[in-house]
Structure 1
Amino acid sequence: MISINDLTFLIGSRALYDEANWHIKPGDRVGLIGANGTGKSTLLKIIVGEYAPTSGTVSMSKDLKIGYLNQDLLSYDSHLPILNVAMEAFERQNQLQKEIDELLKQMETDYSDDILQKLSNKQEEFSALDGYNIEYKTNEVLAGLGFSTEDQLRPLNTFSGGWRMRVMLAKILLQDPDILLLDEPTNHMDLPSIKWLETYLQSFEGAIVIVSHDRYFLDKIVNRIVESRKGKLTSYAGNYSFYLEEKALRSEIQRGEFKNQQAKIKQEERLIERFKAKASKAKMAQSRIKALDKLERVEDVDDDNPTVNFSFKFTKTSGRHVVRLENVTKSYPNVDILDNAEATIEKGDKIALIGANGKGKSTLLRIIAGTETFKGKVETGHNVTTTFFAQHQLESLHLDNSILEELQAFAPKHSDTELRSLLGCFLFTGDDVFKKIRVLSGGEKSRVALAKSLTTDSNFLILDEPTNHLDIQSVNILIQALQQYEGTFISVSHDRYFLDSVANKIWFIEEEKIKEYPGTYAEFEVWNSKRVIPPSKSIPVVPTKKEEKKPVNTNADNKQQLKKLNQDLSKLESLIEELEKAIKEKEAEMADPEIFNNQDKLSLINNAYISDKSALEKAQQDWETLAEEIMNLEA
């Protein structure tokens, strides 16, 4: 499929790749990993031809269709609705639609056989390419990535960078390429969208190469890991978890070979030293010297997993209650976030705040931090000292300070050795610590701000997306740091491995209330998959009256509730049957040549078809929810 042979790529005098080799085969699902700066994104750009290798070759078939998602796509701008932008994926269908429209216009004055034949040919090709369903397919993909029906009609340039990237991803997925090259596809995605993308990629039939720092995402998608390290590409069969085991085993073998070789080398050197001065043994000694020079040396294993070797220091211990929220209400125009919500953060809580984008996670963090207006009461407990890390905290960095000076001024209780060790964990090594803040990239500034937060004297940390811009090693460092932290924290993150490693409580916003699960993220996922989730406030297919909870649930109550639920289930089944019938009728109408040739009628039927399909999907979901509720009551 794609063959990389003896690839060398120089940046100045530094070899980012040095005679690296890699063969991507049909059906491969590869996680391309490595520390920041090892050339993962560069390699993808070499594959698509944006960069030329210094030497070596990248070969592939001419007709190979590549879908390439990268952070440069953030610069793409358009005044068109995102639905239209995503539909640009269907180049041939769009071209045919334009030609069909032109021919239909010509037919207003010209009924010649030539025009009719051309129109028939175009419509036949358009139908063969499933042109009448491209809008529906686009709706589906955009909805999966978190866009509501209303959002899909908004212009692309009204969305933030993270949401624009999702539109670009939708466009690439709709192109149905032979191979997907995805550079950090889950950046700026919420957990529901990540899970949707996992499901989509699991059913994708082509090859996939993913650069990602999300361990759980890689485990779900890939069947091979390729590690970019020291200018080489090393392949491991299996997902990321298998890679860790296999690499540990290879490292153990390599370490043993290194020790054995070093012992052999020392033995040879002692023999040479002993006999080189003797004339009778000089020839033998020279022969052994030459043999040593020719010996292919086994390298010692580098430690790729640095550990945190500094201690948190805060002078005050907080009281039992860190934060109390009482009757907190918050809304934006057309969006209700919280309504008389209540919650308590206790000393020692390690809370993961999860949920879809737009549910108010960051808003809730700002309310707790005291930087957001709201109705109600937030009470901070005795001796609580707070540090709030968010992306906007980058603005508080002092641009004229060096990285080390920034931490020294903020954390005078830590020694330079401790600070430099921490900065090394976040990829600032050697003279990097003397770089001025003003010359750093956004990602580098984020890592400085995060390192700064970890040196705080605070006993309560509020962390909003702390894993953004971190590679897997740096995420591991953050995990170690928070596991050692004896204070309290609440964090928003889409990195499930991070959440599962540090949290002992899960918070989520549902029905405008703050709800809590007392356990790890993995335990929450199991619990959440089994429960009946309250219906959304979006338009329900069949309105169901909310049952009030009663102190005692008698058999009579159960029977009454079962009767009501079964009636609702019957209504849904009738609705599903009607919708399925309506969809079949519309499919037949769209295939009718008379309607097929009438663009106005066709457009109306197609819109109704899409609406019915959406309603059918919602009805089927509601049926499953009700059926599960009935089974729980009957159990």
Structure 2
Amino acid sequence: MLLGLQNVTFEFGARVIVEDATWHIQPGDRIGLIGYNGTGKSTLLKVLVGQYLPSKGTVEKGRNTSIGYLHQDLLSFDTNDSILEVAMGAFERVRELEKEIEALGKLLEEKEDEKLLMDYTDKLHEMDVLDGYNIQYKTEEVLHGLGFTNEQINKPYKEFSGGWRMRVLLAKMILQQPDVLLLDEPTNHLDLPSIEWLEKYLLHYQGSVVIVSHDKYFLNRMVNKIVEIYQQELHIYSGNYEYYETEKAIRIDMQQKAYENQQDYIRQQERFVERFKAKASKAAAAQSIVKRLDKIERIENVTLERPNIKINFQVDKQPGKVIVTLKDVNKQFGDNVIVRDAVAEIERGDKIALIGANGKGKSTVLRIIADAETFEGERVWGHNVQSSFYAQHQLEALNLNNTILEEMSECRSGKTELELRSLLGCFLFSGDDADKKIKLLSGGEKARVALAKVIVSKSNFMMLDEPTNHLDMHSVELLAEALNKYEGSLILVSHDRFFVSQTANKIWEIIDHEIKEFKGGYTEYLEWKERMAKQAREEGRKQQEPKAKAQETAIKLQDTKNKPQEKQRFDNTELKNLQKKFQKVEAGLEDLKKQKTAVEAELGNPDIYKNATKFAETEKNYKAIQTQLAQAETEYEQLFEKIMEIESAMA
């Protein structure tokens, strides 16, 4: 065992987080720590690392177990050092050795000393054992994987925002290679490419990993064990998140049946007692049953307790067909071009996911649409559009000294206090909770307040920037369900692949500083991307094959033409006709190949999917060209063999 809890009870104020909990982290474990918002996942990690002490029980840690702990509080760290320097801080001993070796080298230049030489040799050997000469390469590799460019890694750490700083600290932690890595919502700060890189990296990580995350896709790919905090207890499941969902349903079903069977048994026994307790001949038996019922260990009724936020987005007015149009939009930060002459349009009913790597400008484009960012070009609102904008900075923009109710009142929604309290109840702020100060709320609770403010607006067009951050998985599912029922239009930025797959009917991606649109959901988009990549690979291979075949054919034909016509025993008319036909088919074959390449380029352009009629016509054209090409190649080969046969006979 590397780390664990033994019969631990921990209370946070008057609230019990866990009671009599036992959990051991073994080598090779990749654990997903899950639970509803407010159950104490992050708190439990702090108990594991010793930041909080349990009121009962012990936290057990192996003598030489090293722990890496990534959490939000790390963001208070600041420095003028470059990102590369901060991340290379993982190799403390190697950095010390570098200084010691340099100092000893200077001393040995001044005088020869056998002891100094031995010390110098020992340190060089230790440096070699620690693979110290490759630390910069290793650090750069991890930083690149987490989305940093060569230019960025040499910039000062303090110039970067919170999300990017967290990536640097994650890189440092990974490079330290602790025995146990505790990650609190690591995907909140990563884009999709970086999440995929982290998945691959952690799958081959030698140590054990504990992850607090609401990302179903990430947990399904990453973990081999789930630990759920539920009703102040730890429930452990061997398997990924999908297995946990199935197994939990089975466990609840079994407990429910056991409870019902026991209740039936108890009722039968109680009826017997009630019927015969007054009869002398049965009184002893009745008394015996009463004693047995008193001793029986009662099975609890299964009541699935979970915080069900009730999200019901309302629309006040119906907008026109077009919600917003972007025309010739240009935006850059210094040398970093986000979009250039970009055009895009959002129509009524569109539910768009804006995806792509960090740094491509997703949030910037969202702010341009929301008129919260300066830009060159034109942005035109449609008729009757009422918009609302949910962004991460809005969580920071909440007035910390306000109560939740005061914050909601400032929205000027026209709702009475009673109506606002009723709405807050849907977001799990019931009774006195509505009078809590914002500064006392957790990240998840602040996110719920910001969402409630969006709902109050009754907008018919929503812009959502990472709305699932700080929400537990059940709340993410409820939000996705509510957005599917939402009668308005929306555009969202999210790194949560499950959430995007459940909500979007169109995908936008910023490619080469343009906004490219794919008409379809996230799953179809991924399939299309894979299909296009596969097609490109196959075309690259096919383009090489015809060239080689054509060269071979040309050589054979040239050899045939150069053969001396000594034994012409047949008429040349047939041969000449075949050769003319061969040249014509060859020219037609080349023309069809050019047509095929042109149509493939059209199909590779995401713009074509905006027009369903044009796409169907192009796809039909492509299939027709493929058929013609196959027929032409067959005729080409048959003619060539016939020509060779006649020329051979005439030779």
State the TM-score, normalizing by the size of structure 1: 0.79
- Residue 240 of structure 1: aligned partner: 241
Deviations 1:519-544 (A, max 9, x none): 111222222234359x9xxxxxxxxx
- Residue 555 of structure 1: aligned partner: 590
SS in 1 for 2:59: strand
1:183 Cα shift?
Answer: 1.4
SS in 2 for 1:62: coil
Contact 1:425 1:474 in 2 (8 A): no
Contact 1:225 1:235 in 2 (8 A): yes
C-alpha distance in 2 between matches for 1:532 and 1:499: 22
SS in 1 for 2:109: coil
SS in 2 for 1:63: coil
Deviations 1:506-529 (A, max 9, x none): 101111100011111122222223
2:517 counterpart letter in structure 1? E
1:442 Cα shift?
Answer: 5.0
1:169 Cα shift?
Answer: 0.8
- Residue 330 of structure 1: aligned partner: 331
Assess, with a 3 A threshold, how the Cα gap between structure 1 residues 302 and 416 changes in structure 2: closer, same or farther.
farther
1:205 Cα shift?
Answer: 2.2
C-alpha distance in 1 between matches for 2:395 and 2:51: 31
- Residue 96 of structure 1: aligned partner: 97
C-alpha distance in 2 between matches for 1:342 and 1:386: 20
Deviations 1:354-404 (A, max 9, x none): 112221111111111122221211111121111111123346656676434
Contact 1:82 1:155 in 2 (8 A): yes
1:88 counterpart letter in structure 2? G
Q: Give the percent of matched residue pairs that are identical in Structure 1 and Structure 2.
A: 55
**Unpaired segments ≥5 residues, structure 2:** 537-587, 598-628, 631-651
SS in 2 for 1:204: coil
C-alpha distance in 2 between matches for 1:487 and 1:473: 23
1:476 counterpart letter in structure 2? E
SS in 2 for 1:103: helix
1:213 counterpart letter in structure 2? H
1:434 Cα shift?
Answer: 3.0
C-alpha distance in 2 between matches for 1:319 and 1:331: 31
- Residue 303 of structure 2: aligned partner: 302
1:555 counterpart letter in structure 2? E
Contact 2:518 2:525 in 1 (8 A): yes
C-alpha distance in 2 between matches for 1:410 and 1:275: 68
Contact 2:311 2:426 in 1 (8 A): no
C-alpha distance in 2 between matches for 1:53 and 1:309: 35
1:196 Cα shift?
Answer: 1.0
1:128 counterpart letter in structure 2? V
- Residue 257 of structure 2: aligned partner: 256
Assess, with a 3 A threshold, how the Cα gap between structure 1 residues 220 and 513 changes in structure 2: closer, same or farther.
same
Contact 2:310 2:426 in 1 (8 A): no
- Residue 164 of structure 1: aligned partner: 165
1:209 counterpart letter in structure 2? V
- Residue 503 of structure 2: aligned partner: 502
Contact 2:308 2:428 in 1 (8 A): no
1:363 counterpart letter in structure 2? T
Bigger CA drift: 434-443 or 373-382?
Answer: 434-443
1:105 counterpart letter in structure 2? K
Matched, 1:479 2:514: no
- Residue 198 of structure 2: aligned partner: 197
1:554 Cα shift?
Answer: 8.7
Bigger CA drift: 207-216 or 65-74?
Answer: 65-74
- Residue 543 of structure 1: aligned partner: none
Q: How many residues align?
A: 546
1:277-296 → structure 2 map (5 Å cutoff)? 283-296=284-297
- Residue 342 of structure 1: aligned partner: 343
C-alpha distance in 2 between matches for 1:52 and 1:529: 50
SS in 1 for 2:8: strand
Assess, with a 3 A threshold, how the Cα gap between structure 1 residues 15 and 280 changes in structure 2: closer, same or farther.
farther
1:571-582 → structure 2 map (5 Å cutoff)? none
Assess, with a 3 A threshold, how the Cα gap between structure 1 residues 117 and 501 changes in structure 2: closer, same or farther.
same
Contact 2:94 2:130 in 1 (8 A): yes
C-alpha distance in 1 between matches for 2:115 and 2:311: 81
Assess, with a 3 A threshold, how the Cα gap between structure 1 residues 342 and 458 changes in structure 2: closer, same or farther.
same
**Unpaired segments ≥5 residues, structure 1:** 536-552, 563-633
1:469 counterpart letter in structure 2? H
Contact 2:30 2:210 in 1 (8 A): yes
2:58 counterpart letter in structure 1? T
Assess, with a 3 A threshold, how the Cα gap between structure 1 residues 67 and 269 changes in structure 2: closer, same or farther.
same
- Residue 106 of structure 1: aligned partner: 107
Contact 1:307 1:480 in 2 (8 A): no
- Residue 392 of structure 1: aligned partner: 393
Contact 1:306 1:425 in 2 (8 A): no
C-alpha distance in 1 between matches for 2:432 and 2:262: 34
Q: Which has the larger radius of gyration?
A: 2
1:410 Cα shift?
Answer: 4.7
1:251 Cα shift?
Answer: 1.2
- Residue 222 of structure 1: aligned partner: 223
- Residue 557 of structure 2: aligned partner: none
Contact 1:323 1:378 in 2 (8 A): yes
Matched, 1:36 2:37: yes
C-alpha distance in 2 between matches for 1:330 and 1:532: 30
- Residue 354 of structure 1: aligned partner: 355
- Residue 182 of structure 2: aligned partner: 181
- Residue 380 of structure 1: aligned partner: 381
C-alpha distance in 2 between matches for 1:153 and 1:310: 45
C-alpha distance in 1 between matches for 2:29 and 2:426: 33
C-alpha distance in 2 between matches for 1:456 and 1:252: 41
C-alpha distance in 1 between matches for 2:92 and 2:343: 51
1:558 Cα shift?
Answer: 5.7
Assess, with a 3 A threshold, how the Cα gap between structure 1 residues 312 and 130 changes in structure 2: closer, same or farther.
closer
Bigger CA drift: 131-140 or 62-71?
Answer: 62-71
Contact 2:322 2:347 in 1 (8 A): yes
1:454 Cα shift?
Answer: 2.5
The alignment yields a C-alpha RMSD, in angstroms, of 3.0
Deviations 1:50-95 (A, max 9, x none): 2222222232321122222222222222222121111111122112
Assess, with a 3 A threshold, how the Cα gap between structure 1 residues 430 and 263 changes in structure 2: closer, same or farther.
farther
1:422 Cα shift?
Answer: 5.7
SS in 2 for 1:186: helix
SS in 2 for 1:181: strand
